[in-house]
Amino acid sequence: MPYKKMLLILLFLAIFMLAMATGGCWDRREINELAFFSCAAFDLEGGQRVLTIEYIKPSPTGGGGEKASGDALPQRQAIIVNEKAETFLAAGREGALGLPRRAYLAHTAAVLVGEEMARYGLKEVLEHIDRNPEFRRTTLVLLTRGPAREVVIKAQSGLEKSLGREIIGLHKWVQVSGYGFIPNLNDVFFDLSGDAKTTVLPVLELNPQPFPPILGRGGAAGGGIPAERAGEPETLVTARLNGAGLFYHDKLVAWLDKEQTRGWAWVRNKVKSAILTLPYQENNKVAVNVIEARAKTSVEMQGGLLQGKIKVKMEGDLLEAQGPGDFTRQEAVKSLENLMAAQITAEISSALKTAQEAGTDVFGFAGALHRRYPKVWRQVENNWRDEFKRLPVTIEIEAKLRRTGMTGRPLKPGGGG
């Protein structure tokens, strides 16, 4: 075959292959044809699966997405679809019957699991999400007391236009309190596949808050001239974090209140910042801002018996003080450091007691034992839940007060010094 003819054939083949590779967008999805998930709630009701979805509502094309200033309560820029079926996938397809756009899941901010579903087991929800290639493992996971759909349906927006965006904001900023945290799907899978097979999910609940009164028309006295006057305040039902649920394998087995949740967070290095409100001298209080906290969990063999140990090092600044305490004195600083350590110890002890009663090692003792004594771990692995219930644990807190603010002396109005 002549060289030029062979070259021409190869050229045509290259053009044909290039045309096949760029020949069209047969599977394209136009943005104006998509309905974007914001968050979803998974519930169990009498054997039926209930799926509640918040979709982002497109803004009006005129550019005015905001409500008029005279309207009372802010509204979410979202629509809600609620369906019930034998499976969550079937419930989702039922919801599609009334949806004029194709559902798009990749931007889902969070999923909420209702209490009854959580007691039945997270496995079904996690598998439903993980098998769908559009869901991302960065999706946040939360728990509710009672049906999760109640929170999705009833929560009103405070600063954001959707509940999903509200949850993203909570995830970003809530750790400054020390009381809150929100894991993502990958965190939950990692926990449940670990040695202890336990995890902790934060509780999201409805939180009624006062809404500022609006101005309304009213007659002025004597002149009949219209005047602006304040109306009656209303109630804005927002969402907030409050406590957490303990899971053994994939089932909800116990609850932690707000303080116990922070007790657990100290140990798991999830406290980025916190405020310790402490009693000091009679009925006075002081507030210490925690600026750093580091914890380590370990297990040792002592006399043939396992002994758990929690060690926390923290530093804080004094930001508020009531009463006559003079923190320029070393004795006062040392006394306050002891109070800081006692408060953290109490929070950890309370959380640990609840976890041991439920047999849920959410503190990482199983992993610590496995790493240090692998042979011992193999002996107790199948019975670790019972071993953890009777594991003696010592708590050691090293608290340091680094700063006392602009001044360490209390203000004395009308007096000297």
Q: How confident is the model over 41-58, as pLDDT tens digits? A: 999 998 899 999 999 888
What average pLDDT does range 378-390 have in this prediction?
95
Report pLDDT digits (tens) over 252-264: 999 999 999 999 9
Domain ranges of the chain: 32-59+72-214+225-256, 265-411
Specify the range with the lowest mean pLDDT, choosing from 104-108, 189-193, 353-357, 380-384.
104-108
Per-residue pLDDT tens over the stretch 236-250: 889 999 999 999 999
Q: Residue 97, exposed/middle/buried by CB under 10 A (0-12, 13-18, 19+)?
A: exposed
pLDDT interval class at 3 (50, 70, 90)? low
pLDDT of residue 176: 80
Flag whether pLDDT at 400 surpasses 70. yes
For the residues 230-234, what does the mean pLDDT come to? 75
Class at the top of the CATH hierarchy for domain 265-411:
alpha beta
For residue 64, the model assigns a pLDDT of 47
Look at residue 28 in the predicted model and tell me its pLDDT: 62
- Asked if residue 78 has pLDDT above 50, the reply is yes
Kindly report which listed range (73-82, 148-157, 306-315) carries the lowest average pLDDT score.
Answer: 73-82
Query: Per residue in 133-143, pLDDT tens?
Result: 888 999 999 99
Question: What is the average pLDDT across 213-224?
Answer: 57
With bands split at pLDDT 50, 70 and 90, how would you rate the model's confidence at 406?
A: low
Q: What pLDDT is attached to residue 204?
A: 96
Instruction: Quote the pLDDT of residue 303.
Output: 87
**What's the average model confidence in pLDDT over 189-200?**
95
Share above pLDDT 70 across residues of the chain, in percent, rounded to a whole number: 85
Q: Are strands 48-56 and 234-248 parallel, antiparallel or unpaired?
A: unpaired
Q: Comparing 241 with 222, which gets the higher pLDDT?
A: 241
pLDDT range class, residue 60, cuts 50, 70, 90: low
Lowest mean pLDDT, pick from 32-36, 380-384, 412-416: 412-416
Long-range contacts of the stretch 23-29 (C-beta < 8 A, 24+): 29/102, 29/104
Question: Using CA atoms, how far apart are residues 297 and 369, in angstroms rounded to an integer?
Answer: 10
Q: Mean pLDDT across the stretch 81-97?
A: 88
Question: What does the pLDDT look like over 11-40, one tens digit per residue?
Answer: 777 776 766 665 555 556 677 778 788 999
Q: Is 57 left (phi over 0), alpha (psi -120 to 50) or beta?
A: beta
For the ranges 14-28, 56-70, 75-89, 257-271, the lowest mean pLDDT is seen at 56-70
Query: How many percent of the chain have pLDDT more than 90?
Result: 55
Give the Cβ contact number of residue 85 at 10 Å.
16
Task: Report the C-alpha gap between 108 and 298 in whole angstroms.
Answer: 37
